[in-house]
Structure 1
Amino acid sequence: MTSETPAPALRDLFPETAERHPPVAPLPPGRLVLPEEEDTERPAFWLSDGPAPAGLWAALRAEHGRTGLWPLLLDALDDDDEDYRPWGNGEVLPGDMSDPGAHAPAELLARWWSEHTAPAEDDALPEAERAAVTSPYGRSWPGAAGPRRLVVDPDRTADDLAAHLLAGHPTMRLGLVAADRGADALSTAGWTGPMNHFADTALLSSVLRDWEERYGARVVGVGFDTLVLSVAAPPTTHADALPVAAEHFALCPDNVWQGESPHTLFAYAQRLVGDHSWTFWWD
């Protein structure tokens, strides 16, 4: 469900008590999107009618402190999707999301690690092979990786990734979400990409808040069940990358289980070394 939206109507994205200013950067034609399955008059986000103009993501990101609107580059379920799911048809559930601040990211990651490394009842994989997937840790949670020193500007890194994503996939649309930080934009918009693993996207936002601080991460691109982050402080050695890879596995085991072969944490960690963008996919 959608409504035609002149720029001043962006105020409808915020609570009535919020004082925000509209973007200075000119927006392309777009509309406010209401959650399809919720009885509410408050839109979840603003969506451009067509592809995001080059450079606009960075301009809107730079204005975020003044506008309170975090930009997202949004992708659809497939290129021929007339409804541009889940964005165009409002296939989101903001009313189902909790407060990201109510969760402890370290506890979430440890719990998920335990769940993903435990043998399933119908698991035909021998215990030794299952342990090899998460070697050198096996089923033992290594703990969250330590914070890394920023050597590049996180916001500039995010701008560069946005330009790269749009150059490679120019049909991506622009979204605007009323959120204090990029990590919260996903739960505020009601995105349900990780639903097969956890239904409350605020859990993801909680972890992403922590990654913003420790790795200089920023939320840039979002698809039906995919997420792309920019990373200003990636690990620089394989040894440093291993505990980071463990965090990725805890949050999104499909990155390892169904990613590039070989399907091991050890191999996945090597791909994180020096990588300024992290991509996640929940099956």
Structure 2
Amino acid sequence: MTNPPSPPSLPNPPSLSNPSKTQNPLSVLADDPQGRALGLELPPGALIDRPGGRSRSRLRTKARPEPLLWVSDAPVGIGALAACRGPALAAAGLQAVLFQERTGLECWWVRDELSPASMSDPDDHHVEPVLREFWAGVVPDPEEGEGPDGAGLIAPFGRDWPGLAEHRTPQEDPEAVALALADGLIRDGVLPNPRLALVPAGRGADVPTAMGWRGPVNHENDTALISTVLRSWEDRFGARVIALGFDELHLSVAAPLPTRTAALPVAAEHFAFCPDNVWQGSGSVRAYADEAVTGSGYWGFWWD
């Protein structure tokens, strides 16, 4: 009698110790609040599980949502960002930035202001069409005349999108520039009481989208488009996100624009990205290029 054929071998079941879902890199802080497993020595802080929520490690349960970000309990000083912002943290999938408060908007990150679920993915967008659309939405109508609210606002450019500014190669390490600027902004009182924050994101430009930041909501409510532009500035000018406020964004620039001629196309990008910098600031793209872009290693933005 012939023995029946052996049944086909089946693959081993997946190990329960290796779930398919990637663990949130902030989860380690629930049991390791100082981040020593990440090579850090964090100050006291809290995990923010969802918009408007806080979580200490003793309160965490499997039923709670994954942490969205971590924020220090108290303001930090010079050197705090440099102490934790490095290759090891980035390799763990985290980005360190500063959060800036202001009177009436203390702890804005727990005021139901964050909306990560409403953002698209920066990978789905490209910088040129994003800025072209922004530009079309903010340039004045020809019927408004040639004054500060007309063509003079965007001179020497016209209503057509002028295109991207040319790439510039940084002469210094962008991260070193970022950390030096962060300390300078704290020292000079531009960031008077910053909190240290950790956000799960693959690169600094993606931090605003990953945390669901809505600072530019009066200009653009999908922050992924903001991150798309920030990615391009990272690549073209060595820009780095160093701080966010309720409606403000602070960047370092490792390849500043040395002349007005080089700065003007970048000023046009800034106007498209954050028109309030010009509308309620310099008054024209040309003046803004002179005052805020030419030779500057710091770009600051705020949306009214």
With the shorter chain as reference, the TM-score category is 0.7 to 0.9
Instruction: Give the aligned CA root-mean-square deviation in angstroms.
Output: 2.5
The structure having more radius of gyration, on CA atoms, is 2
Alignment of 1:155-166 (within 5 A): 155-166=175-186
Task: Tell me if 1:44 matches 2:64.
Answer: no
Which residue is 1:84 aligned to? 107
Deviations 1:38-93 (A, max 9, x none): 997122210100012431211222133333211111012x2354x511x1335200
Greater shift, 99-108 or 34-43, is seen at 34-43
Structure 2 Cα separation of the partners of residues 251 and 184 of structure 1? 16
TM-score, reference length from structure 1 = 0.86
Contact 2:25 2:94 in 1 (8 A): no
Structure 2 Cα separation of the partners of residues 60 and 106 of structure 1? 34
Deviation at 1:142, TM superposition (A): 1.0
Structure 2 Cα separation of the partners of residues 210 and 40 of structure 1? 36
Which residue is 2:222 aligned to? 200
Secondary structure, counterpart of 1:50 in structure 2: coil
Which residue is 2:47 aligned to? 32
1:175 to 190, 194, 197: 197
Deviations 1:81-118 (A, max 9, x none): 4x511x13352001111110100111110111111114
Deviation at 1:198, TM superposition (A): 0.9
> Residue type matched to 1:243 in 2?
P
Deviation at 1:31, TM superposition (A): 0.5
Deviations 1:189-226 (A, max 9, x none): 11000000111101100110011000000000100000
Deviation at 1:148, TM superposition (A): 0.5
Which residue is 2:16 aligned to? none
Structure 2 Cα separation of the partners of residues 40 and 259 of structure 1? 44
2:90 to 46, 65, 71: 65
Task: Tell me if 1:186 matches 2:186.
Answer: no
Alignment of 1:106-185 (within 5 A): 106-119=128-141, 126-129=144-147, 130-167=150-187, 168=189, 169-185=191-207
Structure 1 Cα separation of the partners of residues 76 and 172 of structure 2? 26
In structure 1, runs of 5+ residues without a counterpart are 1-8, 15-19
Contact 1:32 1:44 in 2 (8 A): yes
In structure 2, runs of 5+ residues without a counterpart are 1-23, 30-34, 54-62
Structure 2 Cα separation of the partners of residues 182 and 280 of structure 1? 16
Identity percentage of aligned residues: 43
Deviation at 1:187, TM superposition (A): 0.5
Which residue is 1:278 aligned to? 299
Secondary structure, counterpart of 1:128 in structure 2: coil
Secondary structure, counterpart of 2:131 in structure 1: helix
> Residue type matched to 1:70 in 2?
Q
Structure 2 Cα separation of the partners of residues 10 and 181 of structure 1? 14
Deviation at 1:136, TM superposition (A): 0.5
Deviation at 1:10, TM superposition (A): 5.6
Change in 2 beyond 3 A, CA 1:64/1:150: same
Deviations 1:143-165 (A, max 9, x none): 00010021111011000111112
Q: Which runs of 4+ in 1 moved over 6 A?
A: 37-40
